[in-house]
Structures are given as structure tokens and as C-alpha cells.
Amino acid sequence: METNQPRGPAAAPLLQVDGLTLAFGGVKALSGVGFGVQPGSITAVIGPNGAGKTSLFNTISGFYRPAQGSIRFKGQDITRIPAPQRARMGLGRSFQNIALFRGMTVLDNIKLGRHAHLQTNVFDALFYLGRARREEAELRRDIEERIIDFLEIDHIRHASVAALPYGLQKRVEMARALAMQPQILMLDEPVAGMNREETEDMARFILDVRAEWGVTVLMVEHDMGMVMDLSDHVVVLNFGQVIAQGTPAVVQADPEVNRAYLGSGDVGDLRRKLQAGATSAQGAA
Ligand SMILES: Nc1ncnc2c1ncn2[C@@H]1O[C@H](COP(=O)(O)OP(=O)(O)OP(=O)(O)O)[C@@H](O)[C@H]1O
């Protein structure tokens, strides 16, 4: 499957992080991390366990404040902007461990995504009456319907999340993130724990989100096959630092990336992918 989009001349990055440093006590989770996310791209952050991927995601979405460095989104410095405001600006995300309300239905969970856009100011709320409010409610319903249709979860809209298989729960989480109408969708291990069929479904949804909704995707993922197939740009972290970045081909050929994975349990995955790549290249020759 060759899905990586050809790269034209570089546009201004939609998201740009520079020199991000974050420490937990004596542990430096991030040290001078910098990279850009091009609009319309699928960008993946990879790295062995403990490399700093989740810390990076939490810093970009505003849950952690970096000791140093900056985060720019749509040209604006958002380093000191609180997480909910970043979400309202268009940074939507899902979580590594599903963070749905398990006792609630699929539809109610998706509706929660809209809370990122709710009016919080009492004066706004007072003046925000009548027609405008009804129109927004209708618009929201349209969006929810589109999302449900798009992710093929119509048949489970009234099911309780707790009763759903894992792969469908991950899809509902993606639906909730989309309900925030993000410009960048940040997916934290979107296919972790999924079987092959669920993984292929999710890969298709990620590609379609970009193609049909124009959403830029930034993901953390351990599944090398999926990362290499889907991504335009791959950023490799190890011990809190960017050790390589570039196209999947560039990153796969990087000796430092291979060394980093040799010391980790993920090496089998990377090797399998590299072997698969070599086999298909021979087949094509
Ligand atoms: N809340 C925390 N308190 C203390 N140390 C933390 C905390 N979160 C992360 N760390 C440490 O920071 C480093 C980076 O962890 P992080 O979870 O960001 O890595 P990761 O690449 O996401 O790992 P994994 O692939 O296992 O999810 C690790 O050494 C980890 O132990």
C-alpha cells in the first residue's frame, strides 16, 4: 500500500515545537525537542518505551508545562495557553488508554466532544439565546450525524460504551475527538491492542479523516507497519531527544534509529517491517 502523499514545497507548519524541555524530578522526559507538522500531513512520533512520546503529547495539548521551549499553532505562540483553550483553537486529541465514559452511550460520549466549544462566560450565555443557539444545536447535530456515518458506528449509537469491543471503543474515542472539530487530530496509540482487521479499519479511517475532512493528523504509535504506511513525516524520539526525522524511508535507513530500537523490545516490529519492505522492493524490481 503506497499512501504517503508526495511532498510539495514546504508550507508554513500548522504546529511547530522548538526546544521543548520537560523534567519529572531528576528524569528528563524531553530535552530540546523540535519539529514541525505540515498542514494536511500525517505525522507520527515513534520511539522505544519511555522515549518521551506521551510526555510530548501532554505538553503539546497543554496538560504539562514545559520548563523551556515553545509551541506554536497556526502561527500563534500557545506555550502558556491552558489546555481547554488549545482544544477550542483546534487541537483535538484521543488518549492512549481509552478515556470514554463507559457507563454512557456512544452518542452521549460523542456529544461530550462539543463541550470544547461551549460558551463558558455568563454574559455570553445570557446574550446567546434564541435563534443563534438553535442554529448551533442543529449544526452540531449535523456534525454528529456526519461523524457517526463516517466512522460507521450508527448501529451502536445507543449502546453503552462498556459493552463494546475494544476496537469499536477506540473508534468512538476518535469520533469524540472529531466532534471537537479539530484542525489537528492528535491520536495517542490509535491501534494499540487491536487485531489486524481492527488495525486496518483504523488506518483507513485515519487516511479518510485527512482526505475527507481535511484534518491534519499527529499520532504516537508503536505499530511500525502502520506508521510507515500512513505517515508523510516521522519523528523519532529516544531518551527525550529527537534522534531522527524525515520520510518513513529516511527514518528506516537511519543507523541511529536502528540502534535505538536494538536496545528495546520494539526491535522485532521494526525488523519485520524492514524485511517486509525489502521483500516488496525485490518483488517490484
Ligand atoms: N508523571 C510522571 N512522573 C514521573 N516520571 C514520568 C511521568 N511521566 C513520564 N515519566 C518518565 O518520563 C520518561 C518519558 O515517559 P513517557 O511516558 O513520555 O514515554 P513514552 O515514550 O510515552 O513511553 P511508552 O511508549 O511506554 O508509552 C520516562 O522515563 C518516564 O518514566
Of ligand 1's atoms, which has the minimum distance to the CA of residue 220? 22
18 and 74 belong to one structural domain: yes
What mean pLDDT do residues 151-160 have? 89
Final residue in a domain of this structure, among 129, 146, 181: 181
| ipTM value | 0.96
CA of 240, closest atom in ligand 1: 14
Q: Residue 3 sits in which domain range?
A: 1-90+182-285
Assess whether 131 and 222 both reside in one domain.
no
Global pTM value: 0.83
Q: Are residues 160 and 272 in the same domain?
A: no
Domain termination residue (choose one: 181, 203, 223): 181
Residue 285's pLDDT is what?
33
Atom 5, ligand 1: residue with shortest CA distance: 24
Nearest CA to ligand 1 atom 12: 29
Question: 193 and 283 in one domain?
Answer: yes
- The end-to-end CA distance of the chain, in Å, is 16
Which residues, judged by CB distance below 6 Å to any ligand atom, belong to the binding site of ligand 1? 24, 27, 29, 47, 49-55
Q: What is the distance in A from the centroid of ligand 1 to the CA of 58?
A: 11
**Total domain count for the chain?**
2
Three-state DSSP class for residue 70: strand
Pocket test for ligand 1, best of 55, 60, 188, 267 (most atoms within 8 A of CB): 55
242 DSSP 8-state letter: E
pLDDT by residue (tens digit) across 9-48? Answer: 567 999 999 999 999 998 999 999 999 999 999 999 999 9
DSSP three-state, residue 20: strand
* Residue 96, pLDDT above cutoff 60: no
Give the nearest ligand 1 atom to 56 CA: 18
Residue entry with cell 489537528? 184
Tell me the mean pLDDT in the region 107-131. Answer: 60
Which residue, judged by its Cα, is nearest atom 23 of ligand 1? 50
Cα 25 from chain centroid (whole Å): 27
Indicate the length of the chain as a whole number: 285
pLDDT at 260 (0 to 100): 86
Query: Do residues 137 and 241 both lie within one domain?
Result: no
**Atom 6 of ligand 1 has which residue's CA nearest to it?**
24
Spacing, Cα 260 to ligand 1 middle (Å): 16
Instruction: Give me the half-sphere count of Cα atoms (radius 13 Å) on the Cβ side of residue 14.
Output: 20
pLDDT at residue 98 is higher than 60: no
